[in-house]
Structure 1
Amino acid sequence: MAEKEGAIVKTGHEEGLKMAASLLEEFGLPLGLLPLADVVEVGFVKGTGYMWILQKKKVEHNFKMISKLVSYDTEITGFVSTKNIKKLKGVKQLEIARI
């Protein structure tokens, strides 16, 4: 893919998780924004801000403080910049049933 050209890529869970956390911190985003599991690959193109995360399975996370359930697909992509991720794909807010 042309958008991945010139990317820094880390593979494996430990290295991928470190890179994802580093990107969030570098761009002033909350470290808990992307709760990931079984990371396969994380990539970032510095020139465009394009990033991607591949993980083995979908993850659902309940953000209790804001009462939101969020689903993270096996592939998450977007363009990261200071305090912002644009064109984010692979992340969806789900409805929480209130009893």
Structure 2
Amino acid sequence: MSTQAMIDSQREGAEVYHGAGLCKEQSMKLLDEIHLPRGLLPLPALEEVGYNRATGFVWLKQKKAATHVFKAIGKTVSYAPQVTAFVEDRRMKRLCGVKSRELLIWVSLSDMCIDDPESKRITFKTQAGIGLSFPVSAFQTEEDEKSKEDGK
């Protein structure tokens, strides 16, 4: 099933938001709700965000593909125009539209999770089950860092 067909099949009963500002706000709210770092999906040109709470399906549509460098860990990540996943507490699974650059190739990510909140590490896995873990702090937004420094 194509990404668009998957989104269409999940629209009924979903919360759907449009417009850059509202979509950014809702994507941050979603990440907070599922206890994942707010900087995990730095999508600059969001046009639509949808969340079907009954199934846990989420989609994020942006104008065009985007790449982001997570400087703290030296990783470049590519986000397709449509990113989809099934979410639950501290996890995004069956992820589509996110790739990480590893040496000279792009590797599709299929799962990201925080298995143990005490460890303060987030693990990213491929469909083959190969995974890497990084500090959660590498995916926090500048606002999160400032509020942490201010003791809020």
Q: Sequence identity of aligned pairs in percent?
A: 42
**What is the alpha-carbon distance in structure 2 between the residues aligned to residue 60 and residue 50 of structure 1?**
23
* Unaligned 5+ runs, structure 2: 1-7, 105-152
- How far 1:96 sits from its partner (Å)? 5.6
* Unaligned 5+ runs, structure 1: none
Counterpart position of 2:61: 54
- What is the DSSP-based 3-state SS (H/G/I as helix, E as strand, rest coil) of the residue aligned with 1:89? strand
Equivalent pair of 1:37/1:57 in contact (CA under 8 Å) = no
* Regions of 4+ moved over 2 Å: 1-4
User: Equivalent residues in 2 for 1:1-99 (5 A)?
Assistant: 1-95=8-102
Counterpart position of 2:148: none
TM-score by length of 1: 0.92
**What is the alpha-carbon distance in structure 2 between the residues aligned to residue 85 and residue 65 of structure 1?**
21
Identify the structure with bigger relative contact order (alpha carbons < 8 Å, sequence gap 6+): 1
Taking only aligned residues, the RMSD between alpha carbons, in angstroms, comes to: 1.2
Pick the structure with greater CA Rg: 2
TM-score by length of 2: 0.61
**What is the alpha-carbon distance in structure 1 between the residues aligned to residue 11 and residue 101 of structure 2?**
29
